[in-house]
Chain A
Amino acid sequence: MTYEEKLNNVSVLGAAGKMGSGILLLTAIEMTDIRLKSAKAPGSMILNAIDVSSAALSELHLYLRNQIRKIAEKKIVLLRGLYSGNKDLIENTEIIEYYIEDVISHIMLSTRTESSYQSTIIFEAIIEDSEIKIDLFRKILKNNNNDPWFFTNTSSVPISELDRGAELNGKIIGFHFYNPPAVQKLVELIATDKTDIMLVEFARQLAGNLSKKIVPANDFPGFIGNGHFIRDLLFGISMAERLSEKFKLPASIYAVNRISHDFLIRPMGIFQLMDYVGIDVCMKILQVMRSRLKDDQLHSNLIDKLISAGIKGGQNPDGSQKPGIFIYEKGRPTSVFDCDLLKYLPLESFRNDIDKKIGNPPPSWKPWKEVVNNRQNHVFLKHYFSELKGSDTPGSKLAVEYHLNSKRIGLELVESGVADNIGNVNTVLLTGFYHVYGPVNDYLD
């Protein structure tokens, strides 16, 4: 079966979710472009959007239309070529509108797993729960006679565990998109010793066609991305807990968030990132990693407390941030949750005091936004970190400590065999997390 034939019938499980909807979008675009290039009849390619929530599915079309429009606007030159044979489509606006309908026409909404029984490719982006995933794969495998390949978007569950559990016999690969899949360029690709070589080749071609950058990760819980993020988060939490001996915990959380955001020139602070990922998702990942790695350190009382208080973070369908450890206005934290009082406290009540106590970043500091657009940022970063190292302010000292720990996590990912090399760790942080430098660098040497 050729690459194109494999894509004749695809299913996305969890298609209405945050990751699933993005995967659905990209797959629909790829299938449509293949069909237009090969002049196949409409209806010859099917994409099943399967989700347990019919309410969420019903909201998909609006999301998809908006996203397809944005993509079509950017590739209008290509689209004019693809539709050159259709003499009714003359203006850009006609072509874009037609393309939106063309892409949408492939997508069949469904709440039933049965819809995937004809598929040759199955994307899975459901809840981060190994047993649920395995049950679903088993059920599909039993009823699908097309020898399907499974692509799992899991960010933590070992692929070999899913393979073994569902008896997929190497017909599964880890294909981990970053959030949001339509925008983020990184895909972590996790093949096991058993993974079908044809499947690996197909996955590489697919990632290339979706304009994604592949980083291979080895089959350890959390892979590279969460392998770093989760440990980085736990370090941030422990730093905040330590600071809480001096300041109260909510103020310490604010301080560590600011240090990991501003002082380390990252796109967001570590607690903001936790909210972005979703605190419930973070807890699931922690559970998976703790049990598989048999490492009791992979646990956080703070996260447990937040979840039991019903604080989950994550995003609204429009991409805005739901309340997590922070409440946000226009994307900026304005209040922080106090786990003892079980209520949010305005940052205003202590911000000036804490900012004064931790001090400012060194003089050459620039915000992340300015650095990320400058491709020649190595010279600047080297200088900035040397200033950071020489600075006496508590904020700078904590930032140095934080960065060195992040570097240590990166090195351990290579030592433990999760990543093949330092370059792969750095690429994941640069591409998947939009950092302006990889954690393993010589800036503080």
Chain B
Amino acid sequence: MKKKIFLTAGYNTISQGTGRKEFNPKKLRPGIDHYLKEAGQATIKKVGGAANVDEGVIGNFIASSFVKQAHLGAFLSEIDAGLRYKPSQRVEGACASGGLAVLSGIKSVLTGTSDVVLAIGVEVQNSVKAVYGADYLGYAGWFGDRKAGHAYFFPGLFSNRAGAYFEKFGREKTRKAFAVWYKNAIENARLCPTAQEYHNTCEDLVSLALTEPDPKIFTEFLNAYDCSKVSDGASSIAICSEEGLQKAGIDRSDAIEIMSWSLVTDNITKSPDDPTKLSTIEIAASKALQSAGLKIKDIATIELHDCFTIAGILSIEALGLAKHGEGAEFVLEGSTSRLGSIPVNTTGGLIGWGHPTGATGVHQTVAIWEQLTGKAGASQVNIPASKPYGMTINMGGDDKTVVAIVFKR
């Protein structure tokens, strides 16, 4: 990195949707403006007010469909009137939109354009039933494949990956690993008050997760517990230069440093070469680690993109935590649990915390910021002094756009 870049002042709204006690799909709920304001204002306050913010960037996947609202960059001064006439834009890369927002802020600070960038990710998805939401989320894939695809297009794509993995490496063991992945996600979410599954009280999570998939109403190889949540929410964080941190009056110990980042894309119109691999994630992770001069074992905790349990297992392999075909065992052994060798998704990830699609990349960054600065509350895991590093993997579409970032305490 040509100069030091810091992240600080993170904030997550509640990930709202089924599972939360207060959620009622029949009642009028807060709109996208509410989420932008709640998250944005919280970060602005922590950095000492709008005068200290030079620029805004909003990560969002598809508000134009879910809530009929495009042009989100121009919400900046709705968040705080002090930001009127300041630069702001919305960035989009499907479910990696949040990661792109963070990258956009990093680049601005790197070029010296801004010293403090407010990065927000936002999505509101409970505006329509899941059957219609599946159409909108499907825009993250190649529309040329939509007709032949499953009614629930993305669950269908990842169900195909799960089917291929079952065939190659065994169904029973892999399904058990899915169930343990689900259990870890929910147990972690129960420790985080903003998590969508915070109120979950199910006693036997593994049995629940082992419910047989029903292809008549959903996909062939995945059930509802294998899927991330339908969520409304926003997350925000400030991206700062050293001068920016000083200007905002933020202590270095309340910030984390960017070690490296990578952005890797693949051809959206093509099917995966090998459905049992997430090759774009593999390349993105390896590039980011290489530029940071680190190995995967140096990382203390990872936020990875478990939009489906199978994506979690395949990511473990793509990151090099387990060999190809051994990701299920790695999870079954407990290595990814909060007490395992590499705690993954410590507040529940996309399955437990929630997946407000365009917000997820920012939420992952906030989660790592909290862990590395000791602000994670009940969900805090041990970050050994010998490895003060965290990492995020944010995926757009079916392994098509990947943002990987490595952070240091």
Contact = CB atoms under 8 A, between A and B. Distances in A.
A137 B151 CA distance: 45
B218 interface: yes
Given A77-B150, A77-B151, A91 B135 contact: yes
Contacts of A79: 151
B146 interface: yes
A90 interface: yes
A87 interface: yes
A77 B134 contact: no
A91 B138 contact: yes
Contact of B131 (A76, A87, A90): A76
Of residues A87, A90, A91, A93, which shows the largest number of chain B Cβ atoms within 10 Å of its Cβ? A91
Contacts of B138: 91
Contact of A87 (B129, B143, B147, B218): B147
A74 interface: yes
Nearest to A75: B217
Contacts of A92: 131-132, 134-135, 151
A79 B134 CA distance: 15
Nearest to A96: B131
A86 to B, nearest CB: 9
A197 to B, nearest CB: 32
Given A73-B131, A96-B131, A90 B147 contact: yes
Nearest to A94: B135
Interface in A87-107: 87, 90-93, 96
Contacts of A78: 216
A80 interface: yes
B215 interface: yes
Given A91-B135, A92-B134, A92-B135, A76 B147 contact: no
Nearest to A80: B151
A329 to B, nearest CB: 17
A79 B150 CA distance: 11
Interface residues of B, number: 15
Given A91-B135, A91-B138, A92-B135, A73 B129 contact: yes
Given A77-B215, A77-B216, A78-B216, A93 B132 contact: yes
B157 to A, nearest CB: 15
Contacts of A74: 217
Nearest to A73: B131
A308 B132 CA distance: 50
A80 B151 CA distance: 7
Contacts of B216: 77-78
Contacts of A96: 131
B146 A76 contact: no
Interface in A51-87: 73-80, 87
A92 to B, nearest CB: 5
A79 B131 CA distance: 12
A77 B143 CA distance: 18
A19 B135 CA distance: 35
Of residues B147, B150, B216, which shows the largest number of chain A Cβ atoms within 10 Å of its Cβ? B147
Contacts of B143: 90
A77 B218 contact: yes
Contacts of B129: 73
B208 to A, nearest CB: 14
B151 A76 contact: yes
Interface in A386-424: none
Contacts of B146: 90-91
B158 to A, nearest CB: 16
Interface string B268-294: 000000000000000000000000000
A91 B147 CA distance: 7
B50 to A, nearest CB: 40
B154 to A, nearest CB: 13
A96 B134 CA distance: 13
A75 B217 CA distance: 7
A96 B143 CA distance: 18
Interface string B114-144: 0000000000000001011011001000010
Contacts of A80: 150-151
B278 to A, nearest CB: 26
A90 B141 CA distance: 14
A87 B217 CA distance: 22
Interface in B10-52: none
A208 to B, nearest CB: 16
Of residues B135, B143, B150, which shows the largest number of chain A Cβ atoms within 10 Å of its Cβ? B135
B152 to A, nearest CB: 8
A166 to B, nearest CB: 41
B128 to A, nearest CB: 9
Given A76-B151, A77-B151, A93 B215 contact: no
A215 B215 CA distance: 29
A78 B147 CA distance: 14
Contacts of B135: 91-93
A74 B130 CA distance: 10
Nearest to B139: A91
A100 to B, nearest CB: 13
Of residues B131, B132, B143, B216, which shows the largest number of chain A Cβ atoms within 10 Å of its Cβ? B131
A91 B139 CA distance: 10
A91 B65 CA distance: 13
A301 B16 CA distance: 54
Given A90-B146, A92-B132, 19 more contacts: A74-B217, A75-B217, A76-B151, A77-B150, A77-B151, A77-B216, A77-B217, A77-B218, A79-B151, A80-B150, A80-B151, A87-B147, A90-B143, A91-B135, A91-B146, A92-B131, A92-B135, A93-B132, A93-B135
27 contacts: A73-B129, A73-B131, A74-B217, A75-B217, A76-B131, A76-B151, A77-B150, A77-B151, A77-B215, A77-B216, A77-B218, A78-B216, A80-B150, A80-B151, A87-B147, A90-B146, A90-B147, A91-B135, A91-B138, A91-B146, A92-B132, A92-B134, A92-B135, A92-B151, A93-B132, A93-B135, A96-B131
Nearest first, the 6 A-B pairs at minimum CB distance are A76-B151, A91-B135, A73-B131, A90-B147, A77-B151, A80-B151
